[in-house]
């Protein structure tokens, strides 16, 4: 009997363009495949043994005859390619309507209302890379004390501020103000606090980022698991993405390494339920910055850590490794890419080497968790539990 499900989301680790990628401007995107080509092959021995190369052609990662995990890939049914949409669908709710985006910045009335509410003017109000905009406007921010507001191709209202000029707790309050304000037609998926430090010419973003998401519009499998009395741990930005809904315990992390360590510590504890971990560095530090080498190294770091997780697991544990969207660092621009995501499911107490094929929705993960724990719910998706148990 399975007592725990461990979900490891490799944030933005896509595995090839979805059929409708051209509608999102992402034709030919392939986060893993293109990185592998660019670096002349990836060396990820543990993910290889789990069956990563059986899912997709990836230079350096050949298919194996008897994968340790069951393997396949997930198609996103929702209309979007952002963090919120991806995670929500993984947990059983699909979004037919995309969140609003602002390719020309936010409307004048939105900015004016926000400035009035926080008692300060703002800088920016345009789509930009987070590192570029603090290079551009950081010095003016230091002089004026005005926070930097910007967006991207995703549905986000981001506020950057130097931690000395606007303390982090005050920045969080500003973000909550924006979150309360951005409703109806302007209900962006996330308001994001982007604190930074340093001097002009050498600004650096800190790890005290925080996401203020919309509340899911219906229950996810996390809510149903919590109602059933199961423990649900959210590691990294999971609590923020779900606004705490369905989460019984949460740990915010500094980076991928911390997220992996915290996950390992929890696996060694004795409880029944879900450990849901997001490893954000792939996306935040490397995908959005077109840093192919950094992305490769982050993949290697995670691959090296995997045996520790697998060794700590008992026969009552199931590990699901997947992603929430793509963010191909070789692709033009710095935004997310509309891609399939990998699916690898491992556990001593289940089958191995089963080809789960191409799934029609990320929500198949939620439907499978529903079956594992025998939860009564109206979760979307098609379970693959009968195939691998």
CA 334 – CA 338 distance, rounded (Å): 13
Q: Please tell me whether residue 163 adopts helix, strand or coil conformation.
A: coil
Are residues 384 and 366 in contact, defined by beta-carbon separation less than 8 angstroms?
no
Give the per-residue pLDDT at 333: 86
Q: Residue 270, Cβ neighbours under 10 Å: how many?
A: 7
Contacts of 208 (CB under 8 A, 6+ apart): 163, 168, 193, 195
Q: Please tell me whether residue 178 adopts helix, strand or coil conformation.
A: helix
pTM of the entire predicted model: 0.90
Give the per-residue pLDDT at 163: 97
Per DSSP, the residues of 257-291 read HHHHHHHHHHHTS---EEEEEEE-HIIIIIITTT-
Burial annotation 35-57 (CB, 10 A radius, 16+ → b, else e): bbbbbeebebebbbbbbbbbbbe
CA 342 – CA 292 distance, rounded (Å): 19
CA 92 – CA 367 distance, rounded (Å): 7
User: In DSSP terms, which residues pair with 353 in a beta bridge?
Assistant: none
CA 236 – CA 254 distance, rounded (Å): 8
Are residues 366 and 221 in contact, defined by beta-carbon separation less than 8 angstroms?
yes
* Residue ranges covered by each domain of the chain: 4-96+217-388, 108-213
CA 322 – CA 140 distance, rounded (Å): 41
Spans in the chain with pLDDT lower than 50: none
- Determine the Cα angle at 45 with ends 43 and 49, to 5°: 140
Tokens 């980022």 -> residue: 209
Burial annotation 231-258 (CB, 10 A radius, 16+ → b, else e): bbbbbbbbbbbbeebbbbebbbbebbeb
**Length, in residues, of the chain:** 389
Give the per-residue pLDDT at 153: 81
Among residues 296, 307, 302, 313, which one has the least CA distance to residue 278?
302
Among residues 7, 8, 13, which one has the least CA distance to residue 298?
13
Percent helix, strand, coil in the chain, to 5, is 35, 20, 45
CA 137 – CA 142 distance, rounded (Å): 9
CATH (residue range 108-213): 3.30.70.1250
CA 383 – CA 359 distance, rounded (Å): 10
pLDDT, tens only, 217-226: 999 999 999 9
Answer yes or no: same fold for 4-96+217-388 and 108-213: no
Tokens of 213: 């998401």
Among residues 324, 166, 167, which one has the least CA distance to residue 237?
324
CA 84 – CA 97 distance, rounded (Å): 13
Tokens of 212: 């203020």
CATH (residue range 4-96+217-388): 3.40.720.10
């Amino acid at each position: 009997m399975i007592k725990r499900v461990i979900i490891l989301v490799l944030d933005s680790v896509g595995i090839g363009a979805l059929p409708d990628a051209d509608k999102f401007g992402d034709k030919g995107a392939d986060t893993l495949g293109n990185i592998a080509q660019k670096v002349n092959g990836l060396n990820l021995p543990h993910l290889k043994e789990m069956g990563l190369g059986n899912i997709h052609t990836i230079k350096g990662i050949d298919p194996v005859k008897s994968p340790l995990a069951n393997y396949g890939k997930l198609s996103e049914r929702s209309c979007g390619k952002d963090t919120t949409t991806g995670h929500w669908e993984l947990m059983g709710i699909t979004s037919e309507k995309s969140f609003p985006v602002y390719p020309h910045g936010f409307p004048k009335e939105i900015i004016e209302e926000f400035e009035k509410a926080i008692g300060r003017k703002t800088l920016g109000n345009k789509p930009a890379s987070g590192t570029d905009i603090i290079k551009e406007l950081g010095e003016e921010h230091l002089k004026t004390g005005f926070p930097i507001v910007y967006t991207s191709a995703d549905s986000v209202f981001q506020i950057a501020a130097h931690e000395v000029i606007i303390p982090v707790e005050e920045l969080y309050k500003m973000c909550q103000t924006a979150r309360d304000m951005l409703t109806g037609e302007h209900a962006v998926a996330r308001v994001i606090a982007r604190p930074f430090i340093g001097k002009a010419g050498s600004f650096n973003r800190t790890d005290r980022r925080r996401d203020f998401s919309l509340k899911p519009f219906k229950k996810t499998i996390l809510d149903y698991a919590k109602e059933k009395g199961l423990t649900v741990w959210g590691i990294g930005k999971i609590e923020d993405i779900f606004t705490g809904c369905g989460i019984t315990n949460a740990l915010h992390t500094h980076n991928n390494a911390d997220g992996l360590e915290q996950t390992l510590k929890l696996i060694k504890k004795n409880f029944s339920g879900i450990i849901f971990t997001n490893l954000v560095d792939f996306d935040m530090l490397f995908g959005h910055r077109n840093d192919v080498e950094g992305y490769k190294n982050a993949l290697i770091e995670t691959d090296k850590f995997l045996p520790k997780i697998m060794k700590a697991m008992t026969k009552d544990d199931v590990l699901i490794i997947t992603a929430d969207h793509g963010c191909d660092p070789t692709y033009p621009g710095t935004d997310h890419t509309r891609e399939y995501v990998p699916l690898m499911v491992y556990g001593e107490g289940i089958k191995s080497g089963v080809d789960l094929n191409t799934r029609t929705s990320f929500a198949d993960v939620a439907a499978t968790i529903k079956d594992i724990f025998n939860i009564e719910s109206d979760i979307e998706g098609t379970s693959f539990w009968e195939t691998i148990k």
